[in-house]
Chains A and B, each alone.
Chain A
Amino acid sequence: MSEAVISDWPAAKETGHPPVVELFKVTKRFGSFTALENVSLCLKPGTLHALLGENGAGKSTLVKALLGYHVADSGSVMVGGHEVAMTHPTVAHGLGIGMVYQHFTLVPNLTVAENLVLSRDELPVVIDWAAERRRLVEFMATMPFAIDLDRPVAALAAGEKQKVEILKQLYLGRKVIVLDEPTSVLTQQEADEVLSLIRARVVAGQLSVLMISHKFREITAYADEVTILRKGQWVGSGKVADMTTKQMADLMMGGGTTVAAADRREGPPGEVRLRLESLRADDDVGVPAVDRVSLEVRAGEILGIAGVSGNGQKELVEVLAGQRRATSGVIRVDELPYTPTRTAMRRAGVHILPEEPLRNACVGSMSVAANLAFRDFDRAPLVKAGWFVSWKAITARARSLIERYGIRTTGPDAPIASLSGGNVQRAVLAREVDGTARVLIVANPCFGLDFGAVAQVRRRIMEARNGGAAVLLVSEDLDELLQLSDRLAVMADGALVHHTTPAATTPAELGKYMAGHP
C-alpha cells in the first residue's frame, strides 16, 4: 500500500501542491500510560492548522506519530488519500513531510551550512561544497533574516537555532511542515517574521503547516484551523475564525480556571542583594559575549533584562550559574564577593532557573524525584543519620511537589527526559522557586508553557519578589518583562544599552534598543 502512494507522489510533487494529510484514530501508549487515545486530525492542503493543548496533552506525541518517529499502537496515517505505514522518519521525508522538533535536532558541532546540507534527501555521495554553498547563499538571499553559514550550531542562541531549523525545512522543499512550538524561543518580532514567511507560502498554496503553539495571538493571526487536545483526547476542532480565544481556552482546560496574577506588593525595595561590576565573559569559541555588565538588584524587586537571543544573555546567566568563567569583573551577593559554587549558592540562597532546563538544570536519564532533590539531597531531612540518603524521603517529597505544581508524569521514578517540555519546566521551577530563594535568577521561565502554567509561573515569581527575594529576570518576552519587572534594562551585543521602567517605556521603544539602533 505504501508503494502505491510513493509512486503517485512524483506527480503531486510536480504540481507543487501539498497533499491532504490525515491522522485517523491514533492511540499511543508508553507502558501503562496512555498518551493519546483515538485522536483524529485532518490537515487540508494549503492551510495552517494549529494544534492546541495543555502541557502534556499529547501534542508532541501526536505529531511524532505522524512523522514516524513514534509508531502508533493503533490508528492510521493517510497522505493524499492513501494509507501509509509511517514506520520511520524517512518514509515521511520521502513524502515531502518534515518536522521541527520541540527539542532541537541540529547537530551542535557541525556548522549551519553542514546542518542544512546534511538533511537533504538526495545527498550525493561526494559533496561539492562550492556548489552547495552557492545554492545556500542564493537561498539565504531570499530569506528575511541572515544567519552566518559558517558558525557551528552550538555557538548559536536558542532563537537563532530555531530559525535555522525552520530554514532547513524550507530549504529541503518540504510540502508539509510540522512545527512543534516554533516561536517559544523567539521574540514577538522574530516570531512575526518567521510566521509571515511561512504564511505567505501557505496562502500561495505551496505549503501546509501543522503548528503546535501556546500563543493565542499567533493562532488567531496566522492559523486557518485548530484542533484541541486534552489529556490525550480530541476535544474539538474547527475554523479559527469561528472561535473565540475564550472558547479555545475552555476546551483546553476543560472549563477549569487559571490562577489570577499575583499583586505587586508596593513599597520601597530593600538592600542590594546582587551586584555585578563590569562583568565580562567569552562565548564557547572565545569571542567576547558579555561586555562590562554592571547592575544591581535589591531585595524585593525584579530587574528585567530584555534582548534578542544571542546578545550575551545566555552567557551572562551561565556565569551567574557557575557554568562559565567570567573573564573579568566581580559578582557580589550581599555586597560580598561571590563565586558560584554549590556551597556558596546554598549559603547565599541563590537559585537559578536557566533556559533549556532539560539541558542546563536536569540530568535527563535520572528520575523526576532525583532531579527534584538536586539542591538538598545531601542535607536533612533527605539525609538520615548524617550520611545516609533516604530515597523514601526523596520520593515522598517529590510526590508532594508533583501534586502541588501539577507536574504531569507517570510517577516520581520516571526519567525526567520522558516528561513533556512544559512539565520539565514545572519540575525545575518547583525545585528552584520554593520560597527559600534570596536571590532568584530566571531565564525565559515561560518558554514552552501553556497559558495556565504561564500564569502560575509568573505568580510564583511575583510572590518570590513580594517575599523579599531579589529577582533577575532575563527574558525575550516583552509582555512578560513589562508585566513583572520593577526596572528594565536592554541588552544588546553583550552590553546593557538602556535602563528604564515599565511605566516609562513601550514595546516599540524597547524593540529599537534591542535591535541596536535607538
Chain B
Amino acid sequence: MSDDAALGWLGVPLAVVAGAIRVSTPFILVSLGECLTERSGRINLGLEGTLVLGAMTGYGVSYLSGSPWLGVLAAGTAGALFGLLHGWLCSLRRVNDIALGIALMLLGTGLAFFLGKALIQPTAPRLPTIPMGGWLGNEQLASALAISPLFLLGLGLAPLLAWGLRSTRAGLRLRTVGESADAARALGLSVDGWRIGATACGGFLAGIGGSYMSLVYPGSWNEGLSSGQGLMAVALVIFARWQPVRCVWAGLLFGGTSALGPALQSVGVTGGYYLFNAAPYVLTLGIMILTSSPHRTLAGMPLELTRIR
C-alpha cells in the first residue's frame, strides 16, 4: 500500500502498461490464430470455446504432471483437435461456418466446465514469469514487468507469421486459398485441406492462449475465467485488418485500456468505474469507425470470407 502511495498518479500509466502486457496475451494468441484461419477463407467463431477448453486442459495437465509447460502443450493440442473438428465439419456440404462456430463455442465451454469440475479446488504449478524489472529496485514496478514467456511467444510469432504469409510457399498458398478458391483449384491446391489445416493451427494458438489464463494470469481454473476474450479476439482480427503484427497492437491496446478502470480506482477516481470498463470496447469501435469508409471495401479482407454462406 505504501508503494502505491509512493507512486501516486504515476501508478496509472504503469498499471496500464502492466495491464497491456498481462491482459493482452490471450487476445494476442487467439487473434493470431484466428488471423491464420481467416486468411484461408474460414471463420472460426468457436475460439471462445477453444480458449476455455485450453484453459481447463492446461490447468489439469499441469496439476497431474507437475509440469506447466506440458500443460501448455496439452492445451495447444486440445485446441488443435477442436480446430480440426471445426475444419472438418465445415468442409461438409451445407455446413455454415458461423452457425457451426457458435455451436462449437457452446460445446467447448460446456465440455470444459464438465471435465474441469474437479480442478476448481486443487492448485496446479503455474508457469514461471521472467522478471525484467528487478533492477529498478521498486517492487511494484518489478511485478508489473514480470513477463510471461507466452507473451513473448505472441510477440515473436506475429512478425514471423507476417513474414511467413509473405515469403513462404505455404503462406502464399494459404492466401490464395483465402482469396480465391477457384484460382487455388486451378493451381491444383486442395482448398478444404488447407482450410482444415489453418483452422487446426488457429485452434492450437487459441488453446495456448487459454492455458495462459489458467496458468499465468489470473492463474487459476474456475467457470468465470473467461469473459468473452475468445470472441473479442475474433473481432480484433477484423480491427487489425487481418495483419498479424497489427493483431499484437490491437491486443495491447485492448489490454491496456481494460486496465484503465481498475488503475484509476486504485488512485481514488471511483466515478465512472463502469464507464472506464467499457473503454476498450468504445476505443476499438471508435477506431473502427474512423478508419472505415462506406466507399471502399474493407482493405485486406480475404475475399473468400465474403462468400461464406
Contact = CB atoms under 8 A, between A and B. Distances in A.
B24 interface: no
A505 interface: no
Nearest to B164: A126
B180 A105 contact: yes
Interface in A277-330: 284, 286, 324-325
A156 to B, nearest CB: 14
Nearest to A94: B188
Given A106-B183, A109-B302, A118 B176 contact: yes
B297 to A, nearest CB: 8
A149 to B, nearest CB: 15
Contacts of A118: 172-173, 176, 187
A129 B176 CA distance: 17
Interface of B: 166-170, 172-173, 175-176, 179-180, 182-183, 185-188, 295-297, 300, 302-303
Chain A binding surface, main DSSP class = loop
A106 B188 CA distance: 14
A99 B185 CA distance: 13
A222 interface: no
How many A residues are at the interface, by size bracket? Answer: 20 to 34
Nearest to A117: B172
Looking at B168, B173, B187, B300, the one whose CB has the most chain A CB atoms below 10 A away is B187
A119 B187 contact: yes
Given A89-B188, A118-B173, A110 B295 contact: no
Interface string A83-113: 0000011100100000101010111111000
B169 A123 contact: yes
A154 to B, nearest CB: 9
Contacts of B175: 107, 109-110
A127 interface: yes
A11 interface: no
Interface of A: 69, 88-90, 93, 99, 101, 103, 105-110, 114, 117-119, 123-127, 129, 284, 286, 324-325
Contacts of A69: 185-186
A127 B187 contact: no
A127 B168 CA distance: 5
Contacts, number: 62
B176 A107 contact: yes
B304 to A, nearest CB: 10
A105 B296 CA distance: 23
Contacts of B297: 284
B201 to A, nearest CB: 17
A110 B168 contact: no
A173 to B, nearest CB: 16
Nearest to B175: A110
A34 to B, nearest CB: 24
Contact of B169 (A103, A107, A127): A127
Contacts of B296: 284, 286
A106 B187 CA distance: 10
Contact of A110 (B167, B176, B186): B176
A125 B169 contact: yes
A105 B303 contact: no
9 contacts: A89-B187, A90-B188, A107-B183, A108-B179, A109-B175, A110-B172, A119-B187, A286-B296, A324-B295
B179 A107 contact: yes
A114 B167 CA distance: 10
B192 to A, nearest CB: 14
A108 B172 contact: no
Contacts of A109: 175, 179, 300, 302-303
A125 B168 contact: yes
Nearest 8 pairs of A and B residues by beta carbon: A90-B188, A105-B186, A89-B188, A105-B183, A107-B179, A123-B169, A107-B183, A127-B167
Given A88-B188, A325-B295, A124 B169 contact: yes
Nearest to B169: A123
A453 B176 CA distance: 35
Nearest to A122: B169
A105 B182 contact: yes
A125 B168 CA distance: 6
A115 B187 CA distance: 11
A89 B179 contact: no
Contacts of B180: 105-108
B187 to A, nearest CB: 6
A129 B169 contact: no
Q: Among A101, A103, A118, find the residue whose CB has the most chain B CB atoms closer than 10 A.
A: A118
A127 B180 CA distance: 21
A99 B186 CA distance: 9
